[in-house]
């Protein structure tokens, strides 16, 4: 059984991997291999790490189109860390419906606090609240 902590560690590494993917233009397979070789993956949900990393890389256009209408600036003007957090979280909103939207948003806020610029977590929280209303309407209505 995968623990909450193992999933949180996987998401932390995914943000870093997505940052590397965007900044370095490196193939996600190479990034995954590098992360598996250079990080202590013993207590990391490596399946989740793989699924999100490859899922975002395969679906980034749809993912960006999902959160882009809720931005107050052009997507290219976002810092790369915020873009990585939004991509990871929007991926989970769209493709990991077993993860409650409140968990997705909470994880994103924590990641933004850890890796993002000052106050990025507030911006990300606002964007993901709107993504949730749009992509998880039934779940949000039940709150």
Measured at the CA of 115, the angle between CA 23 and CA 62, to 5 degrees, comes to: 55
**What is the model's pLDDT at position 66?**
97
DSSP H helices, the chain, are: 4-24, 28-38, 46-67, 80-95, 101-115, 120-135, 137-141
Q: How far is CA 79 from CA 24, 65, 99, in A?
A: 15, 17, 26
Low-confidence stretches of the chain (pLDDT < 50) are none
Give the other-Cβ count within 10 Å of 66's Cβ: 20
In which residue are the tokens 């769209």 written? 94
**What is the model's pLDDT at position 108?**
98
**What is the model's pLDDT at position 56?**
98
CA distance 17 to 26: 10
CA nearest to 35, candidates 51, 7, 14, 58 = 14
**What is the model's pLDDT at position 26?**
84
**Cβ atoms of residues 56 and 18 within 8 Å:** yes
**What is the model's pLDDT at position 75?**
84
DSSP H helices, 1-45, are: 4-24, 28-38
């Amino acid at each position: 059984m995968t623990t909450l902590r193992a999933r949180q560690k996987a998401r932390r590494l995914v943000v870093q991997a997505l940052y590397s993917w965007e900044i370095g233009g490196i193939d996600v397979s190479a990034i995954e291999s590098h992360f598996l070789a250079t990080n202590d993956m013993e207590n990391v949900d490596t399946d989740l790490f793989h699924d999100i990393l490859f899922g975002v890389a395969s679906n980034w256009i749809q993912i960006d189109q999902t959160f882009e209408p809720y931005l107050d600036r052009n997507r290219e003007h976002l810092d790369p860390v915020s873009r990585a957090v939004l991509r990871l979280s929007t991926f989970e909103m769209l493709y990991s419906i077993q993860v409650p939207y409140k968990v997705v948003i909470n994880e994103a806020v924590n990641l933004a606090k850890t890796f993002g610029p000052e106050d990025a977590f507030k911006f990300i929280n606002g964007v993901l609240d709107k993504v949730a209303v749009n992509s998880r309407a039934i779940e949000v209505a039940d709150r």
